[in-house]
Structure 1
Amino acid sequence: MFKYQTEKQLLYYNKITQLRTEKGLSIRQLCRLFPVSDSTIKRWLRNHDEEHLRKGPKAMPKSPGNRSSSAPKTAESELIRTLREENARLKAQAAGESMRADAYEEMINIAERRFNIPIRKKRGAKQ
């Protein structure tokens, strides 16, 4: 551990190392949660890793990639749910745009019949 730590610093150190090893939070996320600079967090995490290396491989913290299998599944299911919601929203938006295009098309048809004016561009090459 560190020399000359206050009780508050020790509390932050323990909580930050716990969140980093168990939850896999990034340094930026930890900076937002605690009033500690990113360089201090990096130093604490480096010291924490060194302590665990001295204790042996059994005490090594879990890396963010080696989390329990339930965490990725919940994140994956959350991603799937979000994508399904976005898909439904985009389908509704596309249906609305299709109705809007149909309404404009009908408005042009009515105007051409009522006022006997060709509004649409003529197809083919000019002669």
Structure 2
Amino acid sequence: MVTKVEIRENWGKVEKQVKKAEESLKNNEIDDCVYFVWLASENLMNTLKTIVNGRFTVSHKRKVFDAKRYFLKGILKRDYSKTVKKLSQLRLVAAFEPYTIVKKSYTKDDANQFLENIKHLKNEVETKLRSERVL
């Protein structure tokens, strides 16, 4: 089981990942931005799942399902499932293109939208962590 101390330590990673995504976008390093946003989304969904259910998941599909479920249950105010799903699909392109069978299909505007959505998710997760006295 992941402890509150470990969640707090991981929260520092999330903040760094979001900051690196912002810096990458500013520097027109779109692939890096998408990759860091994806990392943040993975950590945010695992953090939320750990707080809500007491465990995390390594399944990317499960994180999409959880994002939808937490929205429907009112745990999240927004439905982030489409963003989490798209980022999971694009992560390989962002990290390994041109060495993937999937071709790049995102723009700087898309990367910015992913980043903004994940920043909203981060705010919602942070609120939950504070209400649970984890942060």
Which TM-score tier does this pair reach, normalised by the shorter chain?
under 0.3
Higher relative contact order (Cα pairs below 8 Å, separated by 6+ residues): 2
Q: Normalised by the size of structure 1, how large is the TM-score?
A: 0.22
- Select the structure of larger CA radius of gyration: 1
Q: Normalised by the size of structure 2, how large is the TM-score?
A: 0.21
